[in-house]
Amino acid sequence: MTSSSKPGRRPLVPVVSMALIALVVAACDEEGDADGAQDRFRSEVGPVPETPQRPGDAQAGYRALVNEPYVSCGMPYSAYRRLTPETDPADLLPGREGRNAELPYHLTAHTNADGVEVVSSNCLLCHAAHFDGELVVGLGNEFLDFTTDPRALVNQLGAYVRGEGDTAAWQHWADRVEGIAPYVQTSTVGANPATNLTWALMAHRDPATLAWSSEPLLEPPPREPLPVSVPPWWRMQKKHAMFYTTIGRGDHGRFMLLAAMLCADTVEEAEAADSYAADIRAFIASLEPPEYPFPIDAALAEEGRQVFEATCSSCHGTYGEAPSYPNLVVALDVVGTDPAYATAATDGSRDRFYEWAARSPYGDDVRLAPAEGYIAPPLDGVWATAPYLHNGSVPDIRSLLDSRLRPTFWRHEQPRDYDATILGWRYERLEHGKDQAADREERARIYDTTRPGYGNGGHLFGDGLTDAERDAVIEYLKTL
């Protein structure tokens, strides 16, 4: 499902959709001592066991994904059209119904309980992206800008609101954004605050009833989110647990119910979304990566396959006619990548949110149990998913395989341009970090690997290869 594209556009209201990818729930009893509860919130590094998933209809899942109002509050449609009167044809998707057929792929319209037509962000804001002139559903959008305060756009749109009903709908949406805004602003364009947004939503909701509180009911998360790179959806057909620390275990469809948590104020509303959650999960699991669109040297790729299988396959699996994938969480002292994200998930500092989820309507069906490490992902379509590592700190595969090439300070070139020799978007290597940036806009575009959580160290497994072997592996990765 693709369409042509113009690079460089920034979708409207990206922060609203972050609830769509912040898919986290827990499994443990309310009773028991603190140490026992903490044990239930942790998993060991190593292989992740498979959990059976509810069956679903992939075609029905696609229809639900692009049409259903799983985020039930948003901008009044009339105000949205006053601010944005036209839709770029490149942003239209097939299979959309009614008003949705004329909206950009990342927005969904519906009529709320008060009879007001509203527009909200959907999952595809973060889980669809343009590549080589095509819109690829399931490819993580690594260019969204979460560095600004989302309340500014809410207030801008408010100037276009007319009438009592539209004002009430806008206020409902604005209240939710007000609650999460202090916790979802990243320091760098492309970094994603999904996890922090989940914790912020939990802090404002009653775990039993899901009722919203304007004041936090739990201590909110830290204000500066740890960065996350958005992984491609097609990996889910192989993965036994969700997210980089495999925190999401159990029923994956139920995890996705938290897509509605931005606005769902009752258990009944959450249960309505559950009626198609398994179908959406089935659609996601059915996705295949796009084919590499440029020429491939078949002989060199075969050499690369042999190097890859000798060097990389024990963690990332094998590909071809008899593929395998080990679902292996690698310990922090082995992988060596920036530990902040995994440490925050397992050091007890987030347990209040795990307890919230355990007491919530989701707690019986899923298990929130991160491991103190990072899962080595399957590499299908990896050539399209730059930048790399869980925090997006390495801009291309060539420097992922040779740590000497990794820039300390860098930013993507504008307009975006893909470099097939390095398997990544072209970037500028800089001599300074954010502290010496000329203005806020320049500061936001700089990826500064000296900042906490943004480090680009570790994953040194390619350093022992020769340049010729790296060339061969890169050519092989183009075939996956």
Q: What does the alpha-carbon distance between residue 89 and residue 46 come to, in Å, rounded to a whole number?
A: 46
- Indicate whether 357 belongs to any domain: no
- Indicate whether 148 belongs to any domain: yes
- Indicate whether 317 belongs to any domain: yes
- Indicate whether 340 belongs to any domain: no
Phi, psi of 43, rounded to the nearest 5 degrees: -125, 155
Q: What does the alpha-carbon distance between residue 154 and residue 175 come to, in Å, rounded to a whole number?
A: 10
Task: Look at residues 286, 320, 337 and tell me which one is the last residue of a structural domain.
Answer: 286
Do 319 and 242 lie in one domain? The reply is no
Do 225 and 313 lie in one domain? The reply is no
Burial group, residue 383, by CB count within 10 angstroms (0-12, 13-18, 19+)? buried
Number of structural domains the chain divides into: 2
Can you read off the two tokens belonging to residue 79? 């105000």
Q: What does the alpha-carbon distance between residue 305 and residue 299 come to, in Å, rounded to a whole number?
A: 10
| CA Rg value for the chain | 22
Do 84 and 193 lie in one domain? The reply is yes
Q: What does the alpha-carbon distance between residue 59 and residue 360 come to, in Å, rounded to a whole number?
A: 30
Q: Dihedral of CA 38/44/49/55: which sign?
A: positive
Do 191 and 124 lie in one domain? The reply is yes
pLDDT in tens, the chain (480 residues): 433 333 333 343 333 333 332 332 222 233 333 445 557 899 999 999 999 999 999 999 999 999 999 999 999 999 999 999 999 999 999 899 999 999 999 999 999 999 999 999 999 999 999 998 899 999 999 999 999 999 998 999 999 999 999 999 999 999 999 999 999 999 999 999 999 999 999 999 999 999 999 999 999 999 999 999 999 999 999 999 999 999 999 999 988 877 668 888 899 988 898 999 999 999 999 999 999 999 999 999 999 999 999 999 999 999 999 999 999 999 999 999 999 999 999 999 999 999 998 898 888 887 889 999 999 999 999 999 999 999 999 999 999 999 999 999 999 999 999 999 999 999 999 999 999 999 999 999 999 999 999 999 999 999 999 999 999 999 999 999
Can you read off the two tokens belonging to residue 356? 């919230």
Q: What does the alpha-carbon distance between residue 61 and residue 147 come to, in Å, rounded to a whole number?
A: 32
- Indicate whether 238 belongs to any domain: yes
Do 282 and 388 lie in one domain? The reply is no
**pLDDT value, residue 5:** 34
Task: Look at residues 233, 257, 286 and tell me which one is the last residue of a structural domain.
Answer: 286
Residue at token pair 């805004």: 181
Do 260 and 405 lie in one domain? The reply is no
Task: Look at residues 228, 260, 286 and tell me which one is the last residue of a structural domain.
Answer: 286
Q: What does the alpha-carbon distance between residue 35 and residue 47 come to, in Å, rounded to a whole number?
A: 24
**pLDDT value, residue 162:** 94
Q: What does the alpha-carbon distance between residue 113 and residue 444 come to, in Å, rounded to a whole number?
A: 39
Question: HEC states along the chain?
Answer: CCCCCCCCCCCCCHHHHHHHCCCCCCCCCCCCCHHHHHHHCCECCEECCCCCCCCCCHHHHHHHHHHCCCCCCCEEHHHHHHHCCCCCHHHCCCCCCHHHHHCCCCEEEEECCCCCEEEEECCHHHHEEEECCEEEECCCCCCCCCCCCHHHHHHHHHCCCCCHHHHHHHHHHHHHHHHHHHHCCCCCCCCECHHHHHHHHHHCECCCCCCECCCCCCCCCCCCCCCECCCCHHHHHCCCCECCCCCEEECHHHHHHHHHCCCCCCHHHHHHHHHHHHHHHHHHHHCCCCCCCCCCCHHHHHHHHHHHHHHCHHHHCECCCCCECCCEEEEHHHHCCCCHHHHHHHCCCCHHHHHHHHHCCCCCCEEECCECEEECCCCCCHHHCCCECCCCCECEHHHHHCHHHCCCEEEECCCCCEECCCCEECEEECCCCHHHCCCHHHHHHCEECCCCCCCCCCCCCCCCCCHHHHHHHHHHHCCC
Do 150 and 198 lie in one domain? The reply is yes
Do 224 and 279 lie in one domain? The reply is yes
Do 265 and 403 lie in one domain? The reply is no
Residue 449 CB coordination number (10 Å):
19
Do 269 and 389 lie in one domain? The reply is no
| pTM for this predicted structure | 0.90
**pLDDT value, residue 14:** 36
- Indicate whether 38 belongs to any domain: yes
Do 275 and 406 lie in one domain? The reply is no
**pLDDT value, residue 7:** 34
192 pairs with which residues across the strands? Answer: 228
- Indicate whether 363 belongs to any domain: no
Instruction: Please list, in sequence order, all residues whose beta carbon lies within 8 angstroms of the beta carbon of residue 216, skipping any fewer than 6 positions away.
Output: 179, 203, 204
* Domain housing 143: 14-286
Query: Both ends of the chain: CA-CA distance in Å?
Result: 19
**pLDDT value, residue 38:** 59
The amino acid that residue 44 corresponds to is E
**pLDDT value, residue 464:** 96
Distances 328 to 51, 195, 378 between C-alpha atoms, Å: 15, 22, 10
CA angle 282–288–294, rounded 5-degree value: 165
- Indicate whether 264 belongs to any domain: yes
Do 271 and 302 lie in one domain? The reply is no
